[in-house]
Amino acid sequence: MIHIEMNEEDKEFIWNLLSTYWILDNRESAINLARNIFENSKNLPDDIEASILKFSSSHMEVDLCEVALYFVARHYFDPKRHIILVSVLVEKNTISINRASDLIKGITQVEGASTLNDKIKKVIDIAWLINEDSKDKIMDAESDNMLVDALNEVIVEARLEQKE
């Protein structure tokens, strides 16, 4: 997988677009952000730019899911934002709980993980346990509702924080 260096301005634009749509539940504002991509972004990969432009005209959530998946697969965001996006992708049935667990498992080694809130830490811990159980062939993530429940708690908290 190719990791393209992203500037902070572009990452912030993507976060604002995705969180406006899914966390703030303000679809019209998200569509307007997408329409203004060339004013708000400088150096996005061509396929991401194409997905955002497609979303701006189609208004199809699947186009935003592609953008979110691109960013979480490459761990572009800080752990909290990363887990929020993974939570959304699970909620939208874009990724399986096994995939979510895989996308979360490396976060424990990220600098600053110790300063995360309890709900985010809980997701990280459960993902680690599921990955260990899966390695030992005890249980796979699809058989365990704990991660789904923890991811739901994260997204509910993110939505409540944004409304305050």
* Mean per-residue pLDDT pooled into runs of 10, the chain (164 residues): 71 94 94 86 84 93 94 91 96 92 76 76 87 69 78 94 77
Distance CA 42, CA 39 (A): 8
The SS3 call for residue 34 is helix
Name the residue with tokens 């569509």: 31
Could you state, in order of their start, the residue ranges of all structural domains in the chain?
1-77, 78-164
The answer to whether the beta carbons of residues 150 and 157 sit under 8 Å apart is: no
**Total-model pTM:** 0.87
Compute φ and ψ for 76, nearest 5 degrees: -75, -25
